[in-house]
Amino acid sequence: MVDRELHRGLEGIAVAETRLSSIDGERGELVIGGFPVEGLATRATYEESVFLLLNDRLPTAAELDSFCTELTGYRTLSEEVEQVLRRAARENVDAMDALRMGVAAANLGVDTTEPTEAREYAKRLVSVIPTIVATYWRYRSGDAPVEPREDLGHAANYLYMLSDDEPDPAAVRGLETYLNTVVDHGLNASTFVARSITSSESDLVSAVTGAVGSLKGPLHGGAPGPVLEMLLTVYESGDPEGYLQETLDAGERLMGFGHRVYRTRDPRATVLSGAAERFYADAGDEAFFDFVEGFEARAVSRLAEHKPDRPLETNVEFYTAVLLYGVGIPRELFTATFAVSRVGGWVAHCLEQMADNRIVRPLSVYVGDRDRTWTPVDEREATNSPKASTE
Ligand code: ACO
């Protein structure tokens, strides 16, 4: 039987089985590769998280060692991709657009006459995205790109390539917690895009290129930059109530709040607020963190008054902004840094889709006309109405 009921935004529709992550939106629980996010995020290295997603188990010490060596070997960019990024930076292209261009060209320099396994592309994409982002940023800042270092882990090397400074261990730990926390999250928009592209038996580079485009939007991965702007503006003005009232009265959305699935505080917000609290305490900047916590409480309470029928709680992007700002990621790179992590989930989902594939092909409900009569082109009158040919 064909279901013609409209499910806007595919809400409530399950279209794939996965072993990668599970979300309970009512209870506010997230499990990644069998581990509650709270247990994984602060313990794992990012490389362990990706191994877990690709293999459905944690690596032994020897396996982790060889996995890290493999990843390290894929960090460098071809000269052509560097040129694309240099040009993108020169033309002030946004970081996510530059990343999309870099990813789309990521198989330049790979010998495509040799069949390359999808798993190899998966590792290459995970490894090369931080280099694409950092190279773009260096050019954008008027600096020379920094070559990746083999002796540094994934998170530390990303920070190093961005700044050309020895990475601070507290910043590495903060970033690593972030990367583990957001590595996978069920069938979010960008992951669905990646799986849909894969379902036509297309390739991983195409799937990840599409996913980057989806992640860019402000309703998905584009929120943390505006969250930071909001927090810094209100921190300076000292008038959180005024800001909240003005924003909600204007019918605008408060960035960093609300979620399609969670009806509670996003569990990732809880993990990231803990990491941010530790980071700001170590850095001796409790004042900003205290302000953030106070603002969050006021915002949740104002949102409850504003939309009493819809629980609108803190989502992951709120504390993403706070933590990434603290560890020194430039605001312009927040969404690209989300991609640095989420690519691990995207490629693991693509491999799952390949292993049990059926092309994604939902239905649409046609609401257009059916009885138009054809008018020859020289007899048509100019009009803005889409129904011109029937009038
Ligand atoms: N501030 C104010 N009102 C909100 C907010 C918000 N942050 N979020 C939802 N609402 C309101 C909507 O205006 C809507 O009201 P209406 O019924 O009167 O039109 C109602 O709550 C339901 O909202 P929907 O858009 O139907 O919720 P949906 O599940 O489609 O969207 C989303 C979820 C996109 C996250 C939304 O809450 C939002 O726009 N939040 C702000 C942006 C943001 O923080 N994005 C990051 C999300 S996390 C991530 O993707 C990693």
pLDDT at 320 > cutoff 50 = yes
Q: What local confidence, expressed as pLDDT, does residue 115 receive?
A: 61
Q: In angstroms, what is the span from residue 309 Cα to ligand 1's centroid? A: 13
Helical segments of 105-168, H only: 118-140, 154-163
The mean pLDDT value for 374-379 works out to: 95
CA of 257 to the centre of ligand 1 (A): 7
CB of 219 sitting under 6 A from ligand 1: yes
pLDDT tier for residue 57 given thresholds of 50, 70 and 90:
very high
Q: Which CATH architecture has domain 21-219+332-355?
A: Orthogonal Bundle (1.10)
Distance CA 220, CA 352 (A): 23
- Whose Cα sits closest to atom 49 in ligand 1? 220
The residue contributing the CA closest to ligand 1 atom 3 is 253
Determine what percent of the chain is predicted with pLDDT higher than 90: 90
Tell me, what's the pLDDT at 112? 65
Nearest atom of ligand 1 to the alpha carbon of 9: 30
pLDDT tens digits, residue range 134-183? 999 999 999 999 999 999 999 999 999 999 999 999 999 999 999 999 99
Q: What is the mean pLDDT of residues 2-22?
A: 90
Which CATH code is given to the segment(s) 224-326?
1.10.230.10
Q: What is the mean pLDDT of the chain?
A: 94
Q: What is the mean pLDDT of residues 368-381?
A: 95
Q: Model confidence at 5, in pLDDT bands (50, 70, 90)? A: confident
Locate 94 and state its tokens: 């946004």
Best mean pLDDT range from 117-121, 156-160, 256-260: 156-160
pLDDT above 60 (res 4): yes
| Catalytic choice (47, 176, 185, 259) | 259
Across 329-333, average pLDDT: 96
Mean pLDDT within 35-51: 98
Confidence of residue 391 (pLDDT cuts 50, 70, 90): very low
pLDDT at 113: 63
Taking CA atoms, 99 is separated from 112, 216, 304, 340, 389, in Å, by: 22, 10, 37, 10, 43
Q: Flag whether pLDDT at 385 surpasses 60.
A: no
pLDDT tens figures, 335-361? 999 999 999 999 999 999 999 999 999
* CATH 1.10.580.10 in the chain, residue ranges: 21-219+332-355
Q: 194: closest CA among 281, 290, 185?
A: 185
Which pLDDT score is estimated for 389?
44
Confidence at residue 388, expressed as pLDDT on a 0 to 100 scale: 45
- Give residue 106's pLDDT band: very low, low, confident or very high (50, 70, 90): confident
Q: What interhelical angle do 95-104 and 334-355 show, nearest 10? A: 40
In this predicted structure, what is the pLDDT of residue 387? Answer: 52
Q: What is the mean pLDDT of residues 384-389?
A: 52
- 317 is annotated as an active-site residue: yes
d(CA 179, CA 94): 22
Atom 36, ligand 1: which residue's CA is nearest?
Answer: 258
Report the separation in Å between the CA atom of 303 and the middle of ligand 1, taken as the mean of its atom positions: 11
Tokens representing residue 239 in the block:
């008038």
Rounded to 5°, the CA angle 388-390-391 comes to 70
How far is Cα 135 from Cα 148, in angstroms, rounded to an integer?
Answer: 10
- Please tell me if the CB atom of residue 259 comes closer than 6 angstroms to any atom of ligand 1: yes
CB of 313 closer than 6 angstroms to any ligand 1 atom:
no
Is 80 exceeded by the pLDDT of residue 257?
yes
Query: Residue 275: is its pLDDT beyond 70?
Result: yes
If you take atom 2 of ligand 1, which residue's CA is the nearest one?
253
**Residue 208 beta carbon below 6 angstroms from any ligand 1 atom:** no
**DSSP element (H, E) containing 21:** strand 21-24
Measuring from atom 35 of ligand 1, which residue has the nearest CA? 259
Ligand 1 centre to CA of 259 (Å) is 6
Closest alpha carbon to 373 in 361, 391, 385: 391
Q: Is the pLDDT of residue 371 over 90?
A: yes
Mean pLDDT in residue range 26-36:
97
In the chain, list all ranges with CATH 1.10.230.10. 224-326
